[in-house]
Structure 1
Amino acid sequence: MEEVITSLEQIPDEEGKELVKLARLAVEEYLKTGREIDLKEVPYESWKKKGASFVTLELSPTHQLRGCIGSVLPHQPLYKDVIHNAIAAATSDPRFVPVRPEELKDIRVKVSVLSYPQKLEYTDPYDLLQKIKPFEDGLIIRYGNHQATFLPEVWEQLPEKTQFLSHLCMKAGLPSDCWLTYPLEVYVYHTKTFSE
C-alpha cells in the first residue's frame, strides 16, 4: 500500500515552493504542447506519497481568481495530483475560459496541500456553528449526490460562519439554508498553502 500524507508537517516549505514551480511548469508545458509533464525523477519522498492538493490561479496584482481545481481525498502521488490539478485549473474550471499562454506572465500560482478530512460530529446547526473554526478549517459538505468544499482561505471573503455555510450549500447545488434543515455530512480539513 502506498503511503498517504497524514500530516502537513510532512511538507517542508522548500518542498512546497518546489510544488508551486512544478504547477507552473505543468501549465506552461500543457498550454504549449498539449502534453502532461511527468518527472523522470521525483526529488522528494513526500511527493511520492498519495496527497490531495488544490491549485489556484490568480491574476496579479488584483488577486482575482482565474481558476481553481483540486482533490479533497488523496488518490495519487502528490506531485501527480499537483500536475493534474494545475492543468485543470488553467483549462477546465467551468467558471472561466481556458487560460491563454500570453496570460501566464500575469498569473500567480498557489498550491494548497490538504490534510486528510475528518468527519465532524455535531448534534444540530448551532452545535455545527460552535465547532467550525473560521480561517482555519476547510469544509466539505455532503448530502445525497451533492458535495462541495471551501478551502480555509475562502473565509477571507466570507468571514461569517452562517454566510460561509450558506455559500457552501449553494456551491453544492443545495438551498442556501441547507445547513439548517438537512442532515449534512460535514468534514473538516486543514491546508498548507505555498504561493509564488
Structure 2
Amino acid sequence: MQKILSTATCLLGVAAATLLGACASKAPAPAFSQDGLPDTVKVPAGHRVVLETVGVGEITYECRAKANDSAAFEWAFVGPRADLNGRDGKKLGTYYGPPATWASADGSRITGTQVAVSPAKAGSIPLQLVKANPATGSGAMTGVSFVQRVATVGGVAPALPCDAAGAGRKEVVKYQADYIFWKPA
C-alpha cells in the first residue's frame, strides 16, 4: 500500500510540474518597449500599446519624371499593401494606401498623418510615427491615437534604372515591418 501511495505521489508531482511548465510557457509576451528607438519616432508619454502587429507585404514604386526636373527620373512611391498579423501569425487586418489605412478584420479602420521618420538599417524603409485620425467603424482601431512602424526589413525603391524609356513602369518590392498601435492611457 505504501508503495502505491509513493507511486501516486510521484505521479501527482510529475503532473503538477508538467502543468506548471505548460502554464509558464503560456505567459504573455512582454509589452513593446520604445527603449532604443530614436526620440523622433517615440510615442509621447501618456499612451499605452493596445495592439502589436507584423505587416508582411509589398510596396509599389513607379518610374516617373521628378517633380522639380522633368528631364530627370526617379522611382516614386505608389503605395503599400500588407497583411497585418498578430505575433502568433494570425491575420488581424490589412494595411494599404494611399491614404495610409490600417483596417482591422472587425471592420474598424484608421488613416493617419506622418509625424516623423528616422533612418532604419541599410536597404530598409525608415521607421515612422503616424498620428491617427479618428476611426471609422467600431472595434480594434477605435481610439487609436498613434501608429509606429518599427523593425523594418526591405521595402526601399528598386535599384533598377529609371529613365525616360522606362517612364510609367512599376516595380513591386517586398517588405516587413512591425506596426504598433497606441491609445491614450
- Whose helix proportion is higher, 1 or 2? 1
Normalised by the length of structure 1, the TM-score is 0.27
Rg comparison, structure with higher value: 2
Normalised by the length of structure 2, the TM-score is 0.28
